[in-house]
C-alpha cells in the first residue's frame, strides 16, 4: 500500500489537446533517475492512484510528470483539469528499477520511447550516469504526430551540453514530418535506418538498450534484440536491455 503525502500543483503545461506536463511540490524521499511516483486523487470516495515517471532529475525540483489524457481513464481526465494551487496525493517513496543501476559500461546507450515515455529519459539524461558509462547516447522518440514531439528546449540543452555524444532521432508514424523518420521505431530498426543514422550497430559487445512506453513496441523490439544476442538486464545478472511498460 502506498504511503500518501499531500502535494501541490505548481504549474501545468498543455502541449496540445490531451497532452500535459505538470509540476508539483511534495516532500518525497530521494530517488534515482528512471524511477516513478504514484499520483492520486480522491474520486467519488476512492483514492485513485497511477504511476508516473519523474521527468526532473533527482537533484532538481519541482517534481514533474508528463502524461496523456486517456478520455476513458479514471485518473487522467480529472488530473488534467487541476490548476496551480490544487492539491493531490503523491506516494512518499519513489519506486522502480528502470535505472542505470548495475548496467555495464559500453559504447552506445540507446533509449527508445513511445509517446510520454520520453519523460523518463529526460531525467536520466540530466544526470552524470549515462555520460560516465557510455561514449554516446541515442534517444529515439516514436510518436503519432509531429506535434507530439515535445520538450524541444530541454532536448536542446542536453544537446548543447553533450554535443556529438548525444543524438536525438524523432520518428513520426501518422503523418509526414520533415525532421523525423517515418513509421514506427520497429520499422526503422528492421530497415537498419537507426543504426545507419548513428553509424553504429546495436550489438551485445557495445550496446545497452532501454525500452519504455507501449507494451507492443517493447515486445517486438525485445524479439529483435534477442535475435541479435542481447539479453535482459537484471541487477543480479547484468544484460543488454531494460524495459518499462506504461500500457
Ligand X SMILES: NC(=O)c1ccc[n+]([C@@H]2O[C@H](COP(=O)([O-])OP(=O)(O)OC[C@H]3O[C@@H](n4cnc5c(N)ncnc54)[C@H](OP(=O)(O)O)[C@@H]3O)[C@@H](O)[C@H]2O)c1
Binding site for ligand FAD (CB under 6 A): 36, 50-53, 65-68, 70, 73-76, 96, 115-116, 119, 244, 246-247
Q: Which is nearer to ligand X, 186 or 207 (CB)?
A: 186
CB of 10 to ligand X, least distance (A): 22
Alpha carbon distance 122, 55 (integer Å): 6
Find which of ligand FAD, ligand X, none residue 22 binds, CB within 5 to 8 Å per kind: none
CB of 223 to ligand FAD, least distance (A): 21
Q: Which is nearer to ligand FAD, 120 or 200 (CB)?
A: 120
Q: Which is nearer to ligand FAD, 68 or 207 (CB)?
A: 68
Most distant CA atoms of the chain, gap in Å: 55
Alpha carbon distance 60, 135 (integer Å): 25
Per DSSP, 28 falls in state P
Q: Which is nearer to ligand FAD, 76 or 173 (CB)?
A: 76
Q: Which is nearer to ligand X, 25 or 69 (CB)?
A: 69
Find which of ligand X, ligand FAD, none residue 76 binds, CB within 5 to 8 Å per kind: ligand FAD
155: closest CA among 177, 137, 178? 137
The shares of helix, strand and coil residues in the chain, as percent rounded to the nearest 5, are 25, 35, 40
What residues does 87 pair with on adjacent strands? 8
CB of 177 to ligand X, least distance (A): 11
Q: Which is nearer to ligand X, 49 or 115 (CB)?
A: 115
CB of 213 to ligand X, least distance (A): 6
Residues lying near ligand X in the complex (CB under 6 A): 16, 18-19, 68-70, 114-116, 142-144, 148, 173-174, 184-186, 213-214, 216-217, 220
Where are any strands of DSSP class E within 1-62? 4-16, 19-25, 36-43, 46-53
What residues does 20 pair with on adjacent strands? 14, 67
Q: Which is nearer to ligand FAD, 61 or 247 (CB)?
A: 247
Find which of ligand X, ligand FAD, none residue 119 binds, CB within 5 to 8 Å per kind: ligand FAD
Residue owning grid cell 492520486: 40
- Angle subtended at Cα 51 by Cα 153 and Cα 117, rounded to the nearest 5 degrees: 35
Q: Which helix (H) or strand (E) holds 134?
A: strand 134-143
124: closest CA among 244, 223, 32, 246? 32
Residue 125 — φ and ψ, nearest 5°? -65, -20
Q: Which residue number is nearest to ligand FAD in terms of Cβ?
A: 73
Alpha carbon distance 237, 234 (integer Å): 5
Find which of ligand FAD, ligand X, none residue 19 binds, CB within 5 to 8 Å per kind: ligand X
CB of 242 to ligand X, least distance (A): 17
Amino acid at each position: 500500500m502506498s504511503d500518501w503525502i499531500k502535494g501541490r500543483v505548481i504549474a501545468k503545461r498543455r502541449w496540445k489537446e490531451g497532452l500535459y506536463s505538470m509540476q508539483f511540490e511534495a516532500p518525497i524521499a530521494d530517488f534515482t533517475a528512471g524511477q516513478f511516483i504514484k499520483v492520486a486523487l480522491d474520486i467519488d470516495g476512492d483514492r485513485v492512484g497511477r504511476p508516473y515517471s519523474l521527468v526532473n532529475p533527482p537533484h532538481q525540483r519541482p517534481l514533474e510528470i508528463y502524461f496523456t489524457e486517456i478520455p476513458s481513464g479514471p485518473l487522467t481526465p480529472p488530473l488534467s483539469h487541476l490548476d496551480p494551487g490544487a492539491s493531490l496525493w503523491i506516494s512518499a517513496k519513489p519506486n522502480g528499477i528502470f535505472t542505470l543501476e548495475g548496467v555495464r559500461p559500453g559504447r552506445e546507450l540507446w533509449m527508445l520511447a513511445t509517446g510520454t515515455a520520453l519523460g523518463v529519459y529526460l531525467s536520466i539524461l540530466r544526470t552524470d550516469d549515462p555520460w560516465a558509462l557510455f561514449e554516446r547516447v541515442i534517444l529515439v522518440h516514436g510518436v503519432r504526430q509531429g506535434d507530439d514531439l515535445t520538450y524541444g528546449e530541454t532536448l536542446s540543452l542536453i544537446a548543447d551540453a553533450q554535443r556529438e555524444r548525444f543524438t536525438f532521432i524523432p520518428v513520426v508514424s501518422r503523418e509526414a514530418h520533415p525532421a523525423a523518420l517515418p513509421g514506427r521505431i520497429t520499422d526503422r530498426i528492421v530497415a537498419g535506418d537507426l543504426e545507419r543514422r548513428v553509424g553504429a550497430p546495436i550489438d551485445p559487445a557495445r550496446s545497452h538498450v532501454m525500452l519504455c512506453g507501449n507494451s507492443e513496441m517493447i515486445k517486438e523490439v525485445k524479439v529483435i534484440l534477442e535475435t541479435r544476442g542481447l539479453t535482459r538486464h537484471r541487477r543480479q545478472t547484468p544484460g543488454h536491455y531494460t524495459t518499462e511498460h506504461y500500457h
